[in-house]
Amino acid sequence: MKVVGEITFDVFYLVFVSLIGLFLLKRAKSGPVKMMGYATLFLVVGDAFHLVPRILDYLLTVNLTGFLGFGKLVTSFTMTIFYVFLYWIYFPLYHEKENSTVSITFYFFMIVRFFLLVLPTNHWFSGEGTVLMGIIRNIPFVIMGGIVIYYYFKHRKRIDSLSGLPILMTLSFLFYIPVVILATDYPIVGMLMIPKTICYIILCNSFLKYSMHYANV
């Protein structure tokens, strides 16, 4: 029953968020809406690299460890790019100029994150990666997320349809961090990925609400 529920949820997520991304691109009349569409598709396509092998792993008897590891690697890259899109979206959305110091810091940690992801010590394809390496490669990602959350929090009351973005992003990290630290020893903690994913479903739906409002003004 648990397996059926997880597969159903994963399929729903992939289909629903894909449709949101395609819809956003179809109706995009502005830079922010178009970037929201690209961000949404990057998110869901990247997650598909991880979730589809995971679904197949439940259904098939073959060893998919390598495919699962590759999927996690791709998802790590695309999730990082998703936050880069959120960073880019912020400035035209709220008509604010970039702070060069903050941008340099943000892109520095992005590069560090990408570098850490490709290190052989991750052992993506063998499934033998350590908790310590998982923590290290996520430190720059958390810093990037913190910068984005701070920016959106500053203007959380300006656009009603996007007012929940800071809390959704914060919650997603609060659900994700225990998984990185504890899931290897306590697999049940991995269930926190479900509420994390729900946060991103609601976040992408907020993009959709904004685009519908934007089309009417």
What the chain holds in terms of domains, given with CATH numbers, is 2-214 (1.20.1070)
User: Token pair 């912020």 is at which residue?
Assistant: 90
Task: Work out the pLDDT band at 217, boundaries 50, 70, 90.
Answer: very low
Helices marked H in 60-164? 65-94, 100-117, 131-154
User: Token pair 């999730």 is at which residue?
Assistant: 79
**What pLDDT, in 10s, does the model give residues 20-59?**
999 999 988 778 999 999 999 999 999 999 999 888 888 8
Angstrom distances, CA of residue 65 to CA of 24, 54, 68, 118: 34, 9, 5, 17
Global pTM value: 0.93
